[in-house]
Chain A
Amino acid sequence: MKALVTIAGLALAAALIAALLQLPPAAVQLPAQVAANMAQSGVEHPVTAVLLNFRGYDTLLEVAVLLLALLTLLTLSGGAAPAPDGGADALLRGVARLALPLIVLTAGYLLWAGAHRPGGAFQAGAVLAAGAVLLQLAGLLPAWVGPQRLLRLGLVLGFLVFLGVAATLLGGGALLRYPPERAGGLILLIEAGLTLSLGLILAGLFLFVTGRRS
């Protein structure tokens, strides 16, 4: 079995590498198109412009996928029983306490920096989620058993803000085509909502699972 898989894998790798090496240059020059439209995007960093302006619908649906994954995870086990507290040591607790303000500050910076350099809602949300997971591992934050009303609102806020902006702009004839003069503000609004919600969703993927004995 293993020998067979090894041979098949090597053959697949050889075929894929041969295909990559023969690939003709791209027929569509996407970097040039992005550069040509940067002035209307409302932000200065091309990745953020693609992510939230030129292909904003991708990101909108991605947030929906994240919510769906979290909902499915929540339906997996009904009987919720908080996991026993792991006896976290004092050093970890101390470091987590010291690190948390820095984590929140970093998330805020990443959110703001996304407009003109690498950064943005996803990175900021991931940093926030990492902070929540760190707190839980240090025993400072109890695992989440079930989403209460406020948490539910936080989880869907980013998606709702995004959807609301998309619905408001539908009159323009295309999904998520921002008016150039207001694009920057709208993108920052969406990203702020996304940062909070993505942080909660990603943290929830960990904290809801540890909070339930399935």
Chain B
Amino acid sequence: MSTGLLYALAGVLLFVLGAAGVVVLAHLLRKILAFNVMGSGAFLVLVGLAQREGVVDPVPQAMVLTGIVVAVAATALALGLARALHARTGRTGLSEGARLD
């Protein structure tokens, strides 16, 4: 097993962990963070899988670099939306009952 493949497998675990978090966690902030963990897992799979034979592939690396920046913007947007939701309804989750704070 090469190092690249090991990274990809770790990426799979991160992705699944994040996906479970998105489903289970009620607080929007936690959901957004879980979504980020998911995204990081996907990036790790992309980069790790591409170099599992030991040759570094610049194409997925450039894609992931693009993806990271887009993920930052998406996270900021999600945080802004969560903030607006909290300001208007006082809710911190998607369901009616979620008033954790």
Contacts and interface: CB of A to CB of B under 8 A. Distances in A.
Interface in B37-75: 45, 49-50, 53, 55-59, 61-63, 65-66, 68-70, 72-74
Nearest to A125: B69
B70 A206 contact: no
Interface in A71-109: 72-73, 76-77
A20 B15 CA distance: 13
B100 interface: no
A213 to B, nearest CB: 8
Contacts of B84: 76-77, 214
Scoring B19, B50, B57, B68 by chain A CB atoms within 10 A of each residue's CB, the highest score goes to: B57
A62 B70 contact: yes
A160 interface: no
A167 interface: no
Given A122-B69, A205-B76, A209-B83, A47 B16 contact: no
B29 interface: no
A55 B62 contact: yes
B33 interface: no
Main SS at interface, chain A: helix
B62 A17 contact: no
Contacts of B58: 30-31, 34, 46-47, 49-50
B32 interface: no
Give the interface size bracket for B toward A.
35 or more
A73 B77 contact: yes
Nearest to B87: A214
B49 A23 contact: yes
B19 A12 contact: yes
Nearest to A30: B59
A191 to B, nearest CB: 13
Contact of A20 (B23, B49, B73, B80): B49
B74 A34 contact: no
A2 interface: yes
Given A16-B16, A31-B57, A65 B62 contact: no
Contacts of A76: 80-81, 83-84
A2 B26 CA distance: 12
Nearest to A1: B24
A73 B80 contact: yes
Contacts of A21: 5
7 contacts: A17-B9, A20-B9, A50-B58, A55-B59, A72-B77, A77-B84, A214-B80
